[in-house]
Structure 1
Amino acid sequence: MPLNAGASGYGSAAGPGLSASAGGSESAPLLIPEPDPEPDPEPVQQWQPLTKEELEVAAGGPGWRKARCYLVLLFWLAWLAMLAVAIAIIVLSPRPVAPSLEWWQKSLFYQLQPDLLTEKQAGRSGSVNALCEQLPYLRSLGIDALILQGLFDKKASPLTLNGTGEIFGTLSQIQHLLAESNKADLKVVLDVCEGDLVGPQDVAENADNTSKLAAKHALRFWLEQGAAGFAICDTDVAYLGEVKCCSHTTLLEWKGVFKEFSSEEKERILVVKQTKEVLPPLKSFSQGNVTLVDMVMRSILPSSRHLLSAKKVADAIETLLKTNLEDIWPSWIVGGKASLDLKELLLVLVMTLPGSPVVQYDEDIVQAKNVSLKVSSSQSDTNQSSDTHTDGEKRSVAALFSTLSHSRAREEALLFGNFTFLPFNSSTDSSSSNSTLPSPPAPILAFLRSWGCVHFLILLNVGPEPHTLDPSQAPSLPKAGVFVANTRMDRMGSTSLDRLQLRPHEAIVIKLFEPGSYS
């Protein structure tokens, strides 16, 4: 077979990498190189945070500068708007304004009848000095003023008013007592109740004028000695005799004398002790609506020759709490006779009522300093606690008195806060109830003293049975509180009205607050 046979001959066989074309020869390369691959597209660059240098360059651009200015302006505008809203809320929101009180409206009065402090009755000449030594201690208890009774003979005429009778002693003793009281920062009000200060009213006009001049002379004398004022009864001629003819001449003249000795720090006052159910008019409309007296001393309990039962005491207190008082600053004293078991309860009531409290002499208080003073009170027949109380009970009475006086001095709610009577219904413990009682047990009496957001709840259990409080009768009250004082001074810390139980003859003072807060 020829070597160059047909197209399908030996030398023209096609194969991989070979060309079967006519021009193919053995000199052609057996492997044809593959073409070079096309270059890949440009790789995607991954995001990376700017470096410090790059950031500084970018931040200096005009866009970032505008954004920063807008953000700073927006921040300050929002801050100023919030400040303006806060100021508007504070200015427009209603808030109580503390009234401007005189010294006698803020004072705690302590009533003494030192008719046993004379050399004749006490057996030694230093009895007045013993009382003078006690004055700094009385001031430390929170007492601001003294009301001295029994200094003047009821039959003394105005001419001898500045000489005193034989009831208390000599003039020098009273002058020394007034001077020492002023040194101890204790003001002294002289009780001239039922004293004949204006002389007889059925004599000639000249003699009547002479008596009035003598009375004004006597007032000036004692005001010069440092007396802070005088207390008279609503049955005295000086008060009642002139009111009958609607002239009020005597009391207006007295007020004029007081102005001569009064100052902003020490205003001289006139107190009237109410003994009747209804007082005569207390203002003189003919002289420009002038108030004839500064303070009216009222009794919480009615006068009685016998001890009042717990039910009668509760009724008297409830009647008082529901009574709308006149527009004359009140002052409170226990007055009537009650069981010794109610002594601490009545003390709490006197110290927490609106007005100026008047506390009568109590040996349990003064003997805490271990100074023996034989001073009688107008209730000496019912106030024999020094013989019946133990040392621990005497200390608790002194602690109760001190706590109440200092709380009243620093708490606006107790000093001049609003008063609200609370109609609490109580549930008596079945274990202690007695179905043979002739009358139902005395209920729990309660009232609220409020000023702003501060509330003081005063609870009184006059009866001899324990009572559980029913707070559902006053659902708007906060349920949590803290004990301020109680009759035994053995309750401390926080409490809840839902689980509070009052013991027999117990009074409790609680400062209420919302849960999670304390004001």
Structure 2
Amino acid sequence: MPLNMDGGYGSVAVGPGISGSLGGSETVPLLITDPEPETPKWQPMSKEQLELEAGGPGWRKIRSRLVLFFWLGWLALLGASIAIIVQSPRPVAPPLLWWQRALFYRLQPILLMDAQNEVPGGIDVVCERLPYLKSLGVEALILEGLFYQDASPLDLKKIDERVGTVPQIQQLLMESHKAGIKVVFDFCELDLFGPQDSVGNDSAVPSDLTGSIQYALRFWLEQGVAGFGICDTDAAYSEKTLTEWRVLVKEFSTSDEERIVVVKQTGESLPALNTSSTSANRSLVELVMMSLLPHEHHLLSGQEVAIAVERHLSTSHGEIWPSWTVGGEASPVLHRILLVLMMTLPGSPVVKYGEEIVHSPNVSADMSWEREADKTNGLNDSVGEQRMLKRSALALFSSLSHSRLREESLLYGSFTFLPFNTTSLPHYSSNSTLAPPSAPVLAFLRSWGCVHFLVLLNLGPESQALDPAWAPSLPTAGVFVTSTGMDRLGATSLETLRLQPEEAIVIKLFESGSYSS
């Protein structure tokens, strides 16, 4: 039975969208994607659109007012700060000359020569030690014993052969100039005009002797000597002599290098000259060297030292620029306290050779130089202890000298002597009805602006605690600067501070108090 191949059951109907051929069906895509929409172009927002996005016109006014208030407040704070700065007292540093800032060091070159058992040439030793002295903060040398004391006639151009020669002195002056150290010649022990009937009697002085001295002074000034020193007990101490010397040093003085005349005061005050008052005496010299201790033939006790020092601290020196030296004799421990005192008092400290180390007759002079200690081998306990004490004293000396150079309060700050109340430990209690025992304790304040240096000196053999009501206007917090034991470090409080026996302490206070000026 034949089948109909053109239609019926096996036929496939071809739609209108599909090709009837096989090749045509392969060209039809399997997935049909939607057409991509067109991307709109970016356009900036209009002013109305921006205001709408920012919250409307009201927010714009608020922001403008906030910016205005900010700048007005900033300008008000700036104006208030300027007004406070202008109205607050500002300390102005006075112009100090080199001799007002310098640390002086008294030295006899012959002592260095004898200490090292060398041939004559103590001046050469001084030259070698100039960098070392400069590292300690020394800025001026007062050389003693350079000339023959018993020479007749006196020739100030001739150096004692045991010390050195004129060319060696000239070399020393050159080296000291390079090191930044001034050199002053001391004539205190020479008796320049010979024995006279009375101090200041110029009528009996031959004119040729006066002329020779003037000629010698001019010679040394030309070599670079920074000045000359004389004692108030010398017959040359007179108005005429001081006037001539002052005219001479002024001739060689410049704005950068002032030449000076130094008078060493041996008594409680300078002796009055025959034709002038004490104020006129002071106008003829730049520096008056005063001794803290009286010249006694025995070691002074702590109580005696305290009485002598308090007399100086409570005395006003007027317009005179003071210069301090120890002068008298005390124990080695008290010498270290006096070193702290000299370096913190207003004026120019003058330290004597040997006072920067342990001053004791059992310590030979060669212990004063660091290199001599290194030559000794096999040290016993006693010498080893002396070396440790010497190094501690050198550390104290260096700490004080460098603090004085960099701290304005110690250079030209005001001075306030403080009445001191202590409680002796352990014999006294603050709850006790008995009065505390008398203790040789001294205190004073050096102030510059809002920075204060409190110096406490316990010259007694007992520990002392500060009375809490001692100085209520002082800030209680501070930081240790130095102490005689070199064992005080870090912050401290005056409420809990304890002074050890025979101890001096320097504390830096930062807050302003009623004691400042």
* Band the TM-score falls in, shorter-chain normalisation: 0.7 to 0.9
Which amino acid counterpart does residue 87 of structure 2 have in structure 1?
Answer: L
Return the letter of the residue paired with 1:128.
I
Alignment of 1:16-95 (within 5 A): 54-57=49-52, 69-95=64-90
194 and 83 in structure 1: CA distance in 2 versus 1, 3 angstrom threshold: same
Q: Judge conservation of contact 2:287–2:323 (CA < 8 Å) in 1.
A: yes
1:470 paired residue number:
467
Equivalents in 2 of 1:514, 1:257: separation in Å? 47
1:284-308 Cα distance to aligned partner (Å, 9 max, x none): 7899998100011000011101111
* Aligned-partner residue type, residue 390 of structure 2: K
Aligned match of 1:211: 209
- Offset at residue 459 of structure 1 (A): 0.7
| 1:183 Cα offset (Å) | 2.2
- Asked if structure 1 preserves the Cα contact closer than 8 Å seen for 2:291 and 2:328, the reply is yes
Q: 408, 411, 414: which one pairs with 1:418? A: 414
**C-alpha spacing 1:205/1:147, structure 2 compared with 1 (3 Å):** closer
Q: Percent of aligned positions with the same letter in both sequences?
A: 59
- Of 504, 507, 510 in structure 1, the residue corresponding to residue 504 of structure 2 is 507
1:108 to 103, 124, 131: 103
Match of 2:495 among 495, 498, 504: 498
Match of 2:263 among 272, 284, 288: 272
CA contact (8 A) 2:466 2:494 kept: yes
Distance 1:309 1:196, change over 3 A: closer
Structure 2 residue corresponding to 1:135, chosen from 127, 130, 135:
130
- 1:135-174 equivalence runs, <5 A: 135-156=130-151, 160-166=155-161, 168-174=163-169
1:427–1:510: structure 2 CA closer, same or farther, 3 Å change rule? same
The answer to whether the 8 A contact 1:446-1:459 is kept is yes
Over 3 Å counting, the alpha-carbon distance change for 1:164 and 1:124 in structure 2 is closer
Letter in 2 for 1:265: D
Q: Could you tell me whether the CA contact under 8 Å between 1:158 and 1:218 is conserved in 2?
A: no
Matched, 1:315 2:307: yes
2:298 matches 1:306: yes
| AA matched with 1:390 | Q
For residues 170 and 84 of structure 1, do their structure 2 counterparts lie closer, same or farther at Cα, with a shift above 3 Å needed?
same
CA distance change for structure 1 residues 491 and 204 in 2, over 3 Å: closer, same or farther?
closer
- The corresponding residue for 1:449 is 446
Aligned equivalents of 2:230, 2:426: Cα separation in 1: 49
Gap regions ≥5 residues in structure 1: 1-51, 243-247, 374-385, 434-439
Q: Following TM superposition, by how much is the alpha carbon of 1:119 offset from its aligned partner in structure 2, in angstroms? A: 8.5
1:236 corresponding residue in structure 2: 234
Q: How does 1:424-435 map to 2 (within 5 A)?
A: 424-430=420-426
> Judging changes above 3 Å, is the alpha-carbon distance between structure 1 residues 82 and 238 closer, same or farther for their aligned structure 2 residues?
same
Is the CA contact (8 Å cut-off) linking 1:116 and 1:168 kept in structure 2?
A: no
Q: Does 1:258 align with 2:249?
A: yes
2:35 aligns with none
Would the alpha carbon gap of residues 321 and 471 (structure 1) be closer, same or farther in structure 2, given more than 3 Å must change?
farther
Give the SS at the match of 2:167: helix
Bigger-Rg structure (1/2): 1
Residue of structure 2 equivalent to 1:371: 371
1:191 is displaced (CA, Å) by: 0.6
Alpha-carbon distance in structure 2 between the residues aligned to 1:217 and 1:158 = 14
Q: Quick one: distance in 1 between partners of 2:409 and 2:218?
A: 37
Instruction: Give, as a single letter, the amino acid of the residue that structure 2 aligns with 1:425.
Output: N
**Contact persistence 1:199–1:211 (CA under 8 A):** no
- The match for 1:249 is 240
Q: Distance in 1 between matches of 2:159 and 2:115?
A: 15
Which amino acid letter does the alignment assign opposite residue 231 of structure 2?
C
Task: Choose 310-319 or 159-168, whichever is displaced more.
Answer: 159-168
What's 1:459 paired with? Answer: 456
Match of 2:225 among 199, 224, 227: 227
Amino acid at match of 2:258: E
Helix, strand or coil at the partner of 2:372:
coil
1:257 is matched by which residue type in structure 2?
Answer: L
Matches of 1:441 and 1:285 in 2, distance apart? 39
CA-CA distance at 1:222 after TM superposition: 0.9
Cα pair distance change 1:416/1:222, threshold 3 Å:
same
- Residue 396 of structure 1 aligns with which residue? 392
What is the Cα deviation at residue 132 of structure 1?
1.5
Query: How many angstroms does 1:90 deviate by?
Result: 1.1
Q: Give, as a single letter, the amino acid of the residue that structure 2 aligns with 1:305.
A: H
Distance across 1 between alignment mates of 2:64 and 2:442: 66
Aligned-residue Cα RMSD (Å) equals 3.5
CA distance in 1, matches of 2:491, 2:114: 51
- The CA deviation at 1:225 is 1.6
Aligned residue-pair number: 441
Aligned to 2:371, what secondary structure does the other structure show? coil
Going from structure 1 to structure 2, the CA distance change for 1:64 and 1:467 (only over 3 Å counts) comes to closer
